[in-house]
Amino acid sequence: MIKIEGVSKYYKGMDRPAVSKLDLEIKEGEICVFVGPSGCGKTTTMKMINRIIEPTNGIISIDGKNILEFDADELRLGIGYVIQKVGLFPHYTVFENIAVVPKLKGWKEDKVMSRVRELLDVVDLDPDENMYKYPNQLSGGQKQRVGVARAMAANPSVMLMDEPFGAVDPITRNQLQNEFLALQKKVKMTICFVTHDIDEAIKMGDKIAIMNNGKLVQYDTPENILFSPINEFVEEFVGSDRALKVLNLLRVSSIMEAYMPTIRYGSDSSQINEFYNNSNFAIVLNDDNKLQGYIDINRIVEKKNVEKWCDYIRTYDICLGIDSTLKDAMVAMLENDMKTIPVLDDEKKYIGVVNFDMIKSHVGREYETTIE
């Protein structure tokens, strides 16, 4: 838990403080995203947490302990730190880069080695292939993965991330964001995340702190920021396309339904006739619930070939993972010209479908309930 109480930062020669009387609490295991226009004080705030910048007044405490009680270097050893430019040490291999903090903490050689391998697996880099590469042999996305691994090396409970995915291309960024969210689900660090991109804030944050001119404007969940912005500044900052941003926030797992009938591959055709009255389509599954495709029941019945229904199975070109956002779902629908898309769990088993009407009614409902 990070607690910021009445913290201000004044710089000489500036007419207003960089950060002014900030009060805020980041709960254990949550991602708090600081967002705002440049110069709003978000990065300054973050850097005060690991004392790269010392506050002029106010108290910052981590897990109830005032950070001033620690030696600054000692404090930083316990806090993960990821920056936009990554800052990997070019003369160190990937292994040596990740091993820096464990070695400073005096870990034994074999423990360091196994931890580095474990971390490379976690950030989806093959340890054998990448451990002894130098940073300039890695792509931008790979570098940032190593940067995240390095920050997590000694199991910090607190992590500071300064626009960590800002310097990579949009596709890689999206991928890194998703991977990081999945990772965070497992390790539950308390994270302070700085970005200027409201979309990223909505996607990554459990809480969002919107700052302007050194002051905290609104500190709330992404839902509340989107649906009930506290003032015009927040409303403007979030943008006029709030309804679209909601799509980025909601996950298919929260709206998917299993309303379509399912049928096992190779099973008896009597089921088809049963379905005929209720539904136009059915989902075809393997014995282990893996998705085989779908069938158009009307067409099979029309062709009078119900016995051989298995010949009429069509496959899906695209499926969604359970963590996909509604935006992912919409994009998939538009790009593939499909109205219904199946959702699979982590083991690729079928769990339900989403369709356009579901998205429409769900987003509409969210809006109504929160606007009241």
Partner 1 sequence: MSTLKYFIKNIDKITDLTMEHIELISLAMCFALIIWISIGILIRNHNKLANGLLGVASIIMSIPSISIYGILVTIPGFGLSRLSAVFALVLYAMLPIMRNVYLALNEVDESIIEAARGMGMKKNQILWKIQLPLAFPIIFAGVRVALVMMVGIATLAVYIGERNLGRLIQQGITRTHMDMVLTGGLLVAILAIVVDGVMALIQKKLISPGLHLDS
Under the criterion CB under 8 A, does residue 265 sit at the interface with partner 1?
Answer: no
Q: Tell me the two tokens of residue 12.
A: 């000489």
Of 81 and 237, CB closest to partner 1: 81
Q: How far apart are CA 183 and CA 179, in angstroms?
A: 6
Scanning 54-62, 69-77, 106-114, 290-298 for contacts with partner 1 by CB under 8 A, the matching segment is 69-77
Edge to edge, the sheet with strand 65-66 lists 19-26, 2-9, 57-62, 65-66
Of 146 and 246, CB closest to partner 1: 146
Contact track, partner 1, 96-115, x by CB under 8 A: ----xx--x-----------
Under the criterion CB under 8 A, does residue 233 sit at the interface with partner 1?
Answer: no
Minimum distance of partner 1 from residue 106's CB (angstroms): 13
Q: Are 233 and 217 in contact (CB under 8 A)?
A: yes
Of 84 and 195, CB closest to partner 1: 84
Give the CA dihedral 171, 176, 177, 181, nearest 10 degrees. 150
3-state secondary structure at position 14: coil
Size of the site for partner 1 (CB under 8 A): 32
Scanning 37-45, 88-96, 290-298, 327-335 for contacts with partner 1 by CB under 8 A, the matching segment is 88-96
Edge to edge, the sheet with strand 350-355 lists 320-321, 340-344, 350-355
Of 91 and 108, CB closest to partner 1: 91
Task: Identify residues 12-51 at the interface with partner 1 (CB under 8 A).
Answer: 50
Q: Are 301 and 272 in contact (CB under 8 A)?
A: yes
Task: Identify residues 117-146 at the interface with partner 1 (CB under 8 A).
Answer: 134-137
Quote the DSSP letter at residue 251: B
Q: Tell me the two tokens of residue 127.
A: 């340890």
Alpha-carbon distance values, 139 to 145, 182, 289 (Å): 10, 22, 38
Q: How far apart are CA 96 and CA 115, in angstroms?
A: 12
Under the criterion CB under 8 A, does residue 372 sit at the interface with partner 1?
Answer: no
Which helix (H) or strand (E) segment holds residue 366: the answer is helix 356-371
Minimum distance of partner 1 from residue 87's CB (angstroms): 3
Under the criterion CB under 8 A, does residue 319 sit at the interface with partner 1?
Answer: no
Under the criterion CB under 8 A, does residue 55 sit at the interface with partner 1?
Answer: no
Of 116 and 210, CB closest to partner 1: 116
**Interface contacts to partner 1, rule CB under 8 A:** 50, 52, 73-79, 81, 83-93, 100-101, 104, 134-137, 147, 150-151, 160
